[in-house]
Structure 1
Amino acid sequence: MNIMDQLIDFMNNPRLTSSLNRDPDVVSSGLDPKYPLTLFLALGIWLVYDRYQKAHTSPLPFEVTPPKAADPEWTSLPIPNANIESHLTNEEIMPPVALPGRRYITSFDPATGLHLQTVLADDEDLIESKIARAAKAQKYWKTTTYTQRRRVMSSLLKWLVDNQELCAQVACRDTGKTLLDASFGEILTTCSKLEWLINRGEKALKPEKRGTNMMMFYKKSEVHYEPLGVVAGVVSWNYPLHNSWSPIIASIFAGNGIILKCSENVVWSTSWFVEIIQQCLVTCGHDPELVQLVCCYPEQANALIQSPRIKHITFIGSDTVGRKVAMAATKHLTPVTLELGGKDPAIILPKANIEAIAPLLMRGVYQNMGQNCIGIERILVHSSLYDELFEYFESRVTRMRVGSVMAMSPEGYISTVDGGAMINGDRFAGLEKVLHDAEEAGAHIVGGKTYNHVYLENGYYFAPTIVGNVDPEMEIAKQEVFAPIALLMPYDRIEEAVNIANSTKYGLGASVWGPDQDLCLKVAKNLECGMVSLNDFGVFYINQDLPFGGAKGSGYGRFGGPEGLRSLTNPKSVIMDRFWINTSVPTVLHYPLRSLTNSWTFVSGLVEFLYGYGWRSRLSGLSRVIKTANK
């Protein structure tokens, strides 16, 4: 309990107000002294506490050297078709020192094909060493106060706001996204989480009072949320800043050390984003070894997932890999939070205002070029509104420009683009096939092909696409596409829309749109998912006081909100005496038992007294307890 909580408890102490109420001068005035006194004390305490907080949690400035490739004018050796295996034969990009038996990871800009770096992948021994170093640092870190942890969070928040363009450019360089998509998905969400931890993190983790029952009336019960030790985050590539910072800041605020295993697709940017947190820890007087980054291929990841030192795993990625992680974690019964894929539906109810909601729907579909776990994957629109919505999408999607915000055009300027690149081209053939199959089955497709950029021939681009008249039985309506593809699915009855929405194996997020909010809420309650927003898209993640996660094939567990923060702790139940009364064992229950009959009569009477129906039953039970207590 911090000083503010103690002072508030003092102000609310009934002895204080009762003693004042006995003062005849106060009573004769006709005023209840409780409220003005409490207000006066609260104001004074707030002023003192505010100064105390600012002095001890105000952000500390620190600097981190920006990577050269964050400059849009930076250039390097292009990798034809982004062939990541070219580092094995190209001496220009091969590291100067090669180690036998070690593999390499090549990072490149998927929008331009420019080589970023080639680094040694971590092996099992190095991973174990990093876990050990984090465990050593965590022994001290778990003793830090929430005030100290808030200073780290506030320092990170200020740094991020001051350097948001640089961070967005780093994310764009490594993933091919646009600055706007980086601002929404990387900066805003991370700032929101930092702010929540600063303002509400301690409240979620401080000892929580719990109720009791008649039998235990003389006891008080609490739940204490204690650090687990060293935890792990195994995260995806689509938001390298947020997907790295989010599990890190939550884990260390809860008192843990953390090992972050990033995707091999974004090693370059994630390394720098983790370096920022480590430098912030140093500036605030803490050990940077508390936070470790593991860069390896999936074959080496079990060294992290199956380590007995890892006490919790947060996994963000596909359901295929998530299942493997969950199974591997059973070796030491390590708890896992799984945030997997989604096929999020947006249900457009009759009489919805298409002009008003369509821009939000487009943002939900094409944000980050569809590479978004809570992106809108299916638009279920009432048949009376279908043509209007399709025409709206077609008139704009066909004019969307894709490209790189980190590359100059042949004319020497950075073009305005609506969408960036895909992370790579591995899924392009599969996307084109599932689109072709949908068209063969009667779907109306606009776009739907790999996009060959005019001057960024080494970039991975897929044309923004619309698929109309989609039938729920089509494969494209069932599998997660994770691409810039809008599926428009007409329906006639609201019950039909709900059934279609619930028909896939996924259940992450959803949205319901219409002028009648009561009807929207009624529909939302029937959706099988972990999160739903009414007349908006994805805002359940901007509010970090809410838990984030899904149902069915979208995983289990939650991160975000009090539930997510507490999942990174050991909830320990603590019960203690409230008054001078202590638990004692009646003579009738002493070992060895004098009489089984008397002992049973006492215990059964106690049960009837505590839980019997009606006062006669309870009095009867109490009578038996009294009669046999000392026999």
Structure 2
Amino acid sequence: MSTGFLHALFHPLVSLELFSRPNGDATSSVDVSYILTAFMAIGIYLVFKRYQNARNRPVLFEWPAPSAADPGFSSVTITNPSLESHLSNPNLAPSMPFAGRKYITCYDPSTSLFLATLPADSAFEIGEKIGLAGRAQLSWRSSTFTERKRFVRSLMRWLVDNREVCARVTCRDTGKTLVDAALGEILTTCSKMEWILAHGEQVLRPEKRHSNLTLSYKTSKVYHEPLGVVAAIVSWNYPLHNAISPLLAALFSGNAIVIKCSENVVWSTTWFIGAVKECLRACGHDPNLVQLVACYPEEAEAVTTSAFIKHITFIGSETVGRKVAQAATVHLTPVNLELGGKDPAVLLPGVNINQYASMWMRGVFQNAGQNCIGIERFIVHSSQHDELVRTLTERTKRLRFGSVMSPSAEGYIAPVDCGAMISRDRFSELERLINNAVEEGASLETGGSRWKHVYLEEGAYFSGTVLGNVENGMEIAQTELFAPVALVLKYDTIQEAIDIANGTRFGLGASVFGPDQNLCLKVARRLDCGMVAVNDFAIFYVCCLSQDLPFGGTKASGYGRFGGPEGLRSLTAPKAIVVDKWPWLMQTSIPAILDYPVRSLNQSWDFISGLIGVLYADRWSEKFSSLKRLIRASW
């Protein structure tokens, strides 16, 4: 860029003054041309930016809310949803029943209101969906990052604009509260989108790798290429986020995805995936890129054993995760397992219990305790055990359980702290574990059993529970509860606290609290788990870190990571490509001494041995003798 152009661009008044001179000379005409050039450059820039903004502008689309998202929704109450009696009940029967076909009954666990009866996919239908995704991916893999960002931005716009409807849909299908839906579903998903928009392209673009002296004339890069069709088998506790999060990573990395949701949340997941498909269609892409599989466990092997699935992300229990990993060996499909946890909160001596009590309550009782990284064990110094138990008990007794989707008498949403659990199936096992712990010496401070709501008698509620004086050897201290239950274990030395924290087969997340942050950090480094928060809870996942950290665990909590650069790249095939920097000047050639057929084995060995010594020997005397050996062998 010339100095004259800069002069005209940043000092237009000077140029105008010259332009206005009477009897203008050559200098004034030159300045006029600079002004015109500057304005032309600015105009081109503004047109280009407008074009870029148009390409990046989110596409608006409509996706109607289901009627059940209205708190005033009314329906049949299901007294026993686990039975298949709905097929003979005209109020619950599918609209178009087919002989021999399986169906899934969807209902609100906080009220037992019937939502829908939906067909379950057969193995054949699952295979067809995988094929549709594969055909759609052939064109999507060559899409630009601009196109992918526009899709993400459009979906994010829809989610933000419709956040209350989305929250109500998850509440209706899982029984959680609106606050829990906002925190665990909306905020985290928007954060994932924000991270992908800001950093996804940088993570996936080709990256240059280092070279060495012998290959200094080469340039090497790693390309991250799409795998094809990937699968996500996800749990029910966060139906929006657990489905959309792997979907975003899969599509942004150029893949198509098949999502197998839990049969517990087919109703809400069907609606969410429908919105995603509509977004793809509005953005001009094939909606078959995303396929939803709704089936019972016995048909799920059609996903895990398919030769066309190139990667599986599993979020769920340890028991099912083992089956998925075994099935994936049929075609050596890579698997990322995010399984259960028994996450400890290690409270170091002198911790301020009042300061962190609110955080601990949410760590235990958010989503009715149905969180893989929820706090299940408090490990506290014996001198503070009673104070902690008293604080937790007092606050737990004040918790209000109920449904935010059931209007109060005044027509407003009833005040609710905790919602329902996903079903009543595990209540008997929870009660058994609690009763056994009490018989072995634990103190039941509050709760401990299923709870019957005054006017929502069919709701799946388990009372908020606090158990003190729990020993690490008790069955309840070794079993993932996934329920609104807090266990308090005490220790006398920090080493003992670490041993207790590490003393389970799980290793997902953890947290350490204490007045000395350096000591907290030292303890955190010694915990056997994938993630630790210091003086905080689950901060390694929630939105304030923009999803930039890898998420996953160790031991029986699984392996692999999703989230962050590690998760995005795990859905790609790294391909290394090496080219010549100056092909016209230097390319690889085979020295005559090494050319096949080798004319002298001794001479070729001396050549290679001398070369190794020159390049890698750490003593100058050996380097010098190797150089002489190399020169002699070269003649």
TM-score by length of 2: 0.91
What amino acid is aligned across from residue 472 of structure 2 in structure 1?
P
Give the CA deviation at 1:91. Answer: 1.8
Alignment deviations for residues 162-183 of structure 1 (CA, whole Å, 9 cap, x no partner): 1111100000000000001101
What amino acid is aligned across from residue 105 of structure 1 in structure 2?
I
Whole-Å separation in 2 of the counterparts to 1:513 and 1:46: 53
Question: 3-state DSSP class of the match of 1:510?
Answer: strand
Q: Name the counterpart of 2:474.
A: 474
Of 617, 622, 629, 2:622 maps to: 617
2:622 paired with 1:626? no
Question: 3-state DSSP class of the match of 2:73?
Answer: coil
Q: Name the counterpart of 1:217.
A: 216
Alignment deviations for residues 383-425 of structure 1 (CA, whole Å, 9 cap, x no partner): 2222221111111100111000001245654310100001001
Q: Name the counterpart of 2:557.
A: 554
Q: Name the counterpart of 1:350.
A: 349
- Is the Cα–Cα contact under 8 Å of residues 410 and 455 in structure 1 kept in the other structure? no
- Describe the shift of the 1:111–1:583 C-alpha distance in structure 2 as closer, same or farther (beyond 3 A): same
Q: Name the counterpart of 1:377.
A: 376
Range that drifts further, 472-481 or 48-57: 48-57
Paired residues for 1:295-374 under 5 Å: 295-374=294-373
2:440 paired with 1:434? no
Paired residues for 1:427-466 under 5 Å: 427-445=426-444, 446-466=446-466
- Is the Cα–Cα contact under 8 Å of residues 82 and 110 in structure 1 kept in the other structure? no
Question: 3-state DSSP class of the match of 2:587?
Answer: coil
Whole-Å separation in 1 of the counterparts to 2:102 and 2:181: 30
| CA RMSD, Structure 1 to Structure 2 (Å) | 1.7
Give the CA deviation at 1:607. Answer: 1.0
- Describe the shift of the 1:411–1:566 C-alpha distance in structure 2 as closer, same or farther (beyond 3 A): same
- Is the Cα–Cα contact under 8 Å of residues 174 and 265 in structure 2 kept in the other structure? yes
Whole-Å separation in 1 of the counterparts to 2:581 and 2:559: 38
Alignment deviations for residues 488-532 of structure 1 (CA, whole Å, 9 cap, x no partner): 111111110000000000000000001211111000000000000
Q: Name the counterpart of 2:581.
A: 578
- Is the Cα–Cα contact under 8 Å of residues 262 and 294 in structure 1 kept in the other structure? yes
- Is the Cα–Cα contact under 8 Å of residues 81 and 105 in structure 2 kept in the other structure? no
Q: Name the counterpart of 1:516.
A: 516
Q: Name the counterpart of 1:402.
A: 401
Paired residues for 1:139-178 under 5 Å: 139-178=138-177
Q: Name the counterpart of 2:539.
A: 539
Q: Name the counterpart of 1:565.
A: 568
Question: 3-state DSSP class of the match of 1:258?
Answer: strand
What amino acid is aligned across from residue 458 of structure 1 in structure 2?
E
Whole-Å separation in 2 of the counterparts to 1:611 and 1:50: 52
Paired residues for 1:418-433 under 5 Å: 418-433=417-432
- Is the Cα–Cα contact under 8 Å of residues 87 and 94 in structure 2 kept in the other structure? no
Whole-Å separation in 2 of the counterparts to 1:505 and 1:48: 60
Q: Name the counterpart of 2:125.
A: 126
- Describe the shift of the 1:52–1:614 C-alpha distance in structure 2 as closer, same or farther (beyond 3 A): farther
Question: 3-state DSSP class of the match of 1:82?
Answer: coil
Whole-Å separation in 2 of the counterparts to 1:202 and 1:215: 32
What amino acid is aligned across from residue 280 of structure 1 in structure 2?
C
- Describe the shift of the 1:502–1:597 C-alpha distance in structure 2 as closer, same or farther (beyond 3 A): same
Give the CA deviation at 1:619. Answer: 2.6
TM-score by length of 1: 0.91
Give the CA deviation at 1:45. Answer: 12
Whole-Å separation in 1 of the counterparts to 2:310 and 2:359: 40
Whole-Å separation in 2 of the counterparts to 1:411 and 1:492: 52
Q: Name the counterpart of 2:96.
A: 97
Whole-Å separation in 1 of the counterparts to 2:77 and 2:51: 54
Give the CA deviation at 1:351. Answer: 1.4
Unaligned runs of 5+ in 2: 1-41
Question: 3-state DSSP class of the match of 1:187?
Answer: helix
Structure number with larger C-alpha Rg: 2
- Is the Cα–Cα contact under 8 Å of residues 84 and 106 in structure 1 kept in the other structure? no
What amino acid is aligned across from residue 554 of structure 1 in structure 2?
S
- Describe the shift of the 1:114–1:139 C-alpha distance in structure 2 as closer, same or farther (beyond 3 A): same
Q: Name the counterpart of 2:503.
A: 503
- Describe the shift of the 1:48–1:412 C-alpha distance in structure 2 as closer, same or farther (beyond 3 A): closer
- Is the Cα–Cα contact under 8 Å of residues 342 and 509 in structure 1 kept in the other structure? yes
Q: Name the counterpart of 2:386.
A: 387
Question: 3-state DSSP class of the match of 1:541?
Answer: coil
Unaligned runs of 5+ in 1: 1-42
- Is the Cα–Cα contact under 8 Å of residues 561 and 567 in structure 2 kept in the other structure? yes
Q: Name the counterpart of 1:236.
A: 235
Alignment deviations for residues 48-79 of structure 1 (CA, whole Å, 9 cap, x no partner): 98766533222111110111100000111111
Question: 3-state DSSP class of the match of 2:400?
Answer: coil
2:603 paired with 1:598? yes
What amino acid is aligned across from residue 623 of structure 2 in structure 1?
R
Whole-Å separation in 1 of the counterparts to 2:82 and 2:612: 74
Paired residues for 1:4-19 under 5 Å: none
Whole-Å separation in 1 of the counterparts to 2:78 and 2:622: 84
Q: Name the counterpart of 1:530.
A: 530
Range that drifts further, 514-523 or 87-96: 87-96
Whole-Å separation in 2 of the counterparts to 1:47 and 1:599: 64
Q: Name the counterpart of 1:12.
A: none
Whole-Å separation in 1 of the counterparts to 2:412 and 2:227: 51
Paired residues for 1:194-273 under 5 Å: 194-273=193-272
Whole-Å separation in 2 of the counterparts to 1:442 and 1:53: 67
Give the CA deviation at 1:185. Answer: 0.5
- Is the Cα–Cα contact under 8 Å of residues 84 and 107 in structure 1 kept in the other structure? no
- Is the Cα–Cα contact under 8 Å of residues 312 and 336 in structure 2 kept in the other structure? yes
Give the CA deviation at 1:100. Answer: 2.5
Whole-Å separation in 2 of the counterparts to 1:380 and 1:51: 57
Question: 3-state DSSP class of the match of 1:391?
Answer: helix
- Is the Cα–Cα contact under 8 Å of residues 342 and 375 in structure 2 kept in the other structure? yes
What amino acid is aligned across from residue 490 of structure 1 in structure 2?
K
What amino acid is aligned across from residue 145 of structure 1 in structure 2?
T
What amino acid is aligned across from residue 383 of structure 2 in structure 1?
S
- Describe the shift of the 1:402–1:206 C-alpha distance in structure 2 as closer, same or farther (beyond 3 A): same
What amino acid is aligned across from residue 251 of structure 1 in structure 2?
A
Whole-Å separation in 2 of the counterparts to 1:124 and 1:245: 24
What amino acid is aligned across from residue 254 of structure 1 in structure 2?
S
Whole-Å separation in 2 of the counterparts to 1:511 and 1:528: 12
- Is the Cα–Cα contact under 8 Å of residues 81 and 458 in structure 1 kept in the other structure? no
Range that drifts further, 466-475 or 83-92: 83-92
